[in-house]
Each structure stands twice: as structure tokens, then as C-alpha cells.
Amino acid sequence: MTTPEALDPQACWQAVLARDRAWDGVFVTGVLTTGIYCRPSCPARHPARGNVRFFADGAAAQEAGLRACLRCRPDDLARDAAAVAGAIAMIKEAEEAPALAQLAAQAGYSPAHFQKLFTRHTGLSPAAYARALRQRRMGDALAGAGSVTEAIHAAGYGAPSRFYAESARLGMAPSAWRNGGAGVTIRWAQVATSLGPMLVAATDKGVCRLSFGEGEAALRARFPKADLVPGSGEFAALLDAVVDAVEVPGRADHIPLDVAGTAFQEAVWRQLQAIPPGETRSYAQIAAAVGKPGAVRATGSANGANHVSVLIPCHRVVRSDGSLGGYAWGLEIKRELLERERP
């Protein structure tokens, strides 16, 4: 449970002003003049900041003499959380991913409403959550199974064709994944940029590594069984596009990527890609955007696990007080990237 001391009043107030549903369940807003408490996303007119106090939950607000808002019904959140937890349990126990209609019926919601509710709580749709779960199990199974076919069935795929239809998300072929990248060809180059030496590496599917101050030794340590080949031919065109994205930071959606992480990491990375150039977000805002407002520290870890700096713009995440926070390649590079993106 969130304690009153753990609540950041400024972050809470910003969530109220934005009516950010991702913060529902993290705290309630007490309006001292009316004697009620609301969800952060309550559609009612905003009270004056001086009349507001934030509470960890409805029970704490009630102890202060407040009653629940009849419009946004903040105490119904427990039902929402239970519905999502029940759906997650159903997905984990099922051999085949349950249909959205099944999950919604179990929860007692319409499919459209439950889709939004589940996504708000987990950062993924029910279908994406089920895929991520199967893929995580597949990665674990490939590491210990005697064959790829055994791993496919152990991960919950009804047939090999189902796995191969989704296998592009793993970033490597199944056997290569199982053997730590063996058999995968990675083309790479180290180029001079205005930010210093930059390493770019890519598989046939896209860029799998972008870093500063690293060379072949670091790349080989990360992919010890891959076939590392100096880039040429089509790689040169990809390299030019990457260099352009670094020298003139902006949108890099056109550059293909080959990265994979946990479901939570990938949800964080999608949010990073959604930050417009010239803007920043706090770690707390990113955590809230993926439906895990209490996971600020885990969000920072997912941010740091980004393999393709700049292309997934982790430099656009700062601390709640506006300070830069950390950056794997040094604060000077982070500061310069942000400066270049200023309108």
C-alpha cells in the first residue's frame, strides 16, 4: 500500500489536472471544502489546489472525515483490480489464450470496457499480455529443453505454426535464442560522431545495439556466440540513417529495431518512443503510463535496459524535480541530446 509519506504532492496534483486514469488506485484526492474524496481521474470540476489533500486510499480519507464521491466512485477500484487479477490468472492457466469476450464475461464488464481497464492496469492489452507470457515461457523453455519442438509445446503453443507466426518478436530464430545467439549474424561498425565514438550493430531484422564509447570487445561480450561481421552494403545505408538520427535527434520510427525484453520493459520502451522530440517525462509519469504507478524504480531499470539509445529515446526521461537523473553514456551526452531537440 502507498503510504502518505511516499506520495509526491506535485506528481499527484499533475495527475489530477490531467485526469490521468493510470493513477487511479495509487491515491485518492480529498477535497476538504466539500468533504468528499475522488479518483485522480474524476470528471468533476477541479477544486482549488489549496483545498486538496492526498490520501493513500479511501480508508485513510474516511479516517479524516471524508466520504466517497458518488460520481467517480473511487472505492470501486478494488473490483477493477480484482477483475484484472482474475483475468491474468485465467490467461496463465489456459492452454490457449482466452478470447477477450471470455475474460470480460468473467469480470462482469463489456469487452470494450474491460480491454481499456486491463490495458490501463498492465500496460498491455489482454492479447498482448498473453503473447508476452508465451514468449517469456518460450525463452525459458528454449534454455532448458532438449529440442525446439519440446520448448514450443512447453511454452503453451498449441502448434509450432503458432509460435513461428509470433517468433519475429523474439528477435532471433528459436534455435539461436536457445543457444545464446549462436548462428545469428550481426553486422556492426564504430563511427565518429559529434557525441564521440558510436557503436551500431544490427541483425537482418534491425538495429540491436547503439551505444557510445563501446567497441567490438563490448559487442562480443554481449553476443558471445553470434557471428560478428564488419558492416557493408545495405548496412551502410542503415548506418547513415542511424547517424542522422543521432546528429539531428527527432523521430526515428523509420529505423527498424531488433530488440526484446520482458513485457514490462517493452511497455516502458513503447512509452519512451511516444515522447515527442523536445519534451521529457519523469520516471513516475512513465510508470503511470504503463499502468504501474508504484513501479518507479522498476521503470528506471527498464529505461536503463534499453539496448538502442536515442532510437528508443531513454534520454527524454528525467527526475520529477526536472534534474537529468542518470544516463548510461554520461550526463553530457544526455544534456546535449535534449538541447538538440529543443524547438
How many CB atoms within 10 Å of residue 112?
10
E strand or H helix at 273 = helix 263-273
Cell numbers at 203, concatenated: 541483425
Distance, in Å, from the CA atom of 12 to the CA atom of 24, rounded to the nearest integer, reads 10
Instruction: From the candidates 38, 42, 69, 208, give the one annotated as an active-site residue.
Output: 38
Give me the sign of the Cα torsion angle 255, 256, 261, 266.
Answer: positive
Distance, in Å, from the CA atom of 246 to the CA atom of 208, rounded to the nearest integer, reads 16
Q: Tell me if residue 69 is catalytic.
A: no
Instruction: From the candidates 69, 72, 208, 314, give the one annotated as an active-site residue.
Output: 314
Q: What is the CA radius of gyration of the chain?
A: 23
Q: Can you state the angle between helices 126-144 and 100-107, rounded to 10 degrees?
A: 110
> 89, 34, 21, 35: which is closest to 67 by C-alpha?
35
Q: Which residues pair with 210 in a beta bridge?
A: 200, 308
Distance, in Å, from the CA atom of 319 to the CA atom of 300, rounded to the nearest integer, reads 10
Q: Tell me if residue 314 is catalytic.
A: yes
Active site residue ranges: 38, 314
